[in-house]
A and B are shown apart, each in its own frame.
Chain A
Amino acid sequence: MDVLQNLLDGLQLALGAENLLFVLLGVSVGMMVGVLPGLGPAPTVALLLPITFGLEPSTAVILLAGVYYGAMYGGTITSVLLRIPGEAASVVSTIDGHEMAKQGQAGRALGLAAIGSFVGGLIATCCLVLFAPALADFALNFGSPEYAVLAFLGLILVAYTSAGTMAKSLVAVGIGLLLASIGQDPMTGSSRWAFGVPELMSGIDVVAVIMGLFGLSEILVNIVDNRRGESTIRQVGRVLPTGRDLRDNAGAIGRGSIIGTGLGLVPGGGGVLASLVSYGTERKVSRRPERFGHGAPEAVSGPETANNAASISTFIPLLTLGFPPNGVLAVIFGALLIQGVTPGPALISDHPDIFWGVVGSMVVGNLILLIMNIPLLPVFVRIARIPPAVMATLTVAILIVGAYSINGNTFDVGVMVAAGLAGYLLRRIGVPPAPIVLAFILGPIFETNFRRSLVLSDGGFDIFVSSPTAIVLLVAAIAVLVSTALPMVRQRRQALEAED
């Protein structure tokens, strides 16, 4: 009863005129940020930080949280229409979402993603209310070995879910891990492979790499095709999903909600890992997995549900433990500190207005996004009708400006261009770009926890099987590897038998 009463109080707080205005402002800015490649949620939340100084602490967090989950909705739009992920968590939707767009089903893909995101957001909010303390306790039990094994599992899943052979995807993972290691050593702080370039001392910016590998390489791959004066996407199709669509995708949305809510608690993983695991799960449970990569609707609805659910559940470690799991939450952590509020276990009892106000705003914000999304989708899908020559030129301009906006320097523009050219050449030889980016994100987490574990165990690798959680995660990773290798072994044996 207490929970229900607190939730009602939170909703009442969120529906107050001022808070409602800031929810609307937050999700609108978030949507815009999601649609514009380059200007991701983290820099936008940081840019908005000065605005929050004069606001109540709960209103400040409501505004910044709205930007975050609003960006999760918006990121899908460019992924589906342009094959450019607005932010990293929408990478997976570039595969089947864009294929659906090419088949004249852009509206259907975006409609399913919007409804899935709403359901995922709502379910994650319910979990935030009901299970926050217990789930946070579970995540709290993770030590370095568990994090290292979890990152390993994440990378194996990244390779497993990518297009093409596992070997080429693992090559891409290796490239991503090596790129992530440029800059400061996370344990000793010493410089690695900076070659005396000051900008490289702090490492390569992931957003610039994402923009180059996905955005610019896509433009270069289609450089001749883009000379056409007319769009190949002639039909965008209906926007509202049918009852059958919803029935067919209900399982994917349900599974995406659970996966997203669970993985949102994992530091570093968040929306990116959730959408990847959801994609892999949907392909695994599908009766027709061969459709994946060619425009399977559940390959869009599941991951999009998962990334939005994850963006909500990432607030659990922040609001209950004072532990920001990713960059955006770190900025929100800073916003609370500026307001004189220290996030941690005492926050719910000391500042119930903040915790329950944010929870209430998530319900209201997700509803606003759904209401905004459905009628506005036809506006967004019209982008698909713009001639390729115009779209390519516009994209190049946005990529340049977006890369510059990350840190306000031209070095990031150079990184974006280099990543774009490298991505173009790698794609031509069949190395997919997605695992590079995702390994780049997971790399520092993997390295830090891997090395820390080895130090703790005095060099003993048995530390990675020292707890039930680590064992379960390691077995899962090995199972994925074995499930990939077995068909190849079987095929080889059949070929040898045929030769005999």
Chain B
Amino acid sequence: MADLLAIGSRRGLRPALPLLLPAYLWLTVAIFLPLSAMVFFSFMTDLPLAGKEWSFTLGNYAAFFSQSLYSTLLFASLRLGLEVTLWCIVIGYPAAYVLAKVLKGRSREAIFLLVILPFWSNGLVRIFSWAMVLREGGILDTALNAVLPFKINIDLMYSYPAVIIGLVHSYVPYMVLTCYLTLQAIDDSLIEAGRSLGASRRQVLWRVIIPLSMPGLIAGSALIFVPVVGSFMEPRILGGRTGTFYGTVIEDQFVAVFNWPLGAALSFILLAVVLIILALAAPVLRRAA
């Protein structure tokens, strides 16, 4: 990699421009412009639609700090992001390990397909199908009561666990994929070398495999944590009344209350908080990787 970069800089950036340009033009048009518009909105008192009066204000940002509701919800969302990320590691990492190190050939392809299947289904369909499973008298409830000799009442619908389940289901493929890639790059002979030196399988896992797959764990965690903190669809549908999070409040501002300036300001505060968290974690993560 370092060699490639060295070659690139020796030849200068100019020959690379035609390769870079399409992507950066697209990014400028598709992300930078709308996002700038949003920054602009976040400092306005009202939307300049239908000839309404508006002026510049810091009030939208001040609202976040004056009402404890927003910071409470932000903390709830950060906790949600943390929990979902942890569950994704717990569930996704072992699966990635088996895919990368145990299965070979055909069976690997088949299992891989199952892992990325959630990507191919519509998000809403995914969430509503969970609603069918989790509600009282739903599939899980009926099935368990058919098997168990005693009566239990499974009603996970509209609860915090339901939100976690839905989010983990949506995001676990990211963890499996990123970890799979780093695990597959670990030479099997490193594992054998560890064991030949007297390390048990568990010691090899903790001292060799996990440290070497840290880049994948970190990449997967970042890919999951950031969108989960701002998520609104799963909390709203599966969480019901308990599903009020920072993301759903932002969504409300845009969709229900039609207070775009406040929604934009809340979004940028979230962005700032996430960036601060990633920046604070960077030195630790770099050492781990």
Instruction: Say whether A and B bind each other.
Output: no
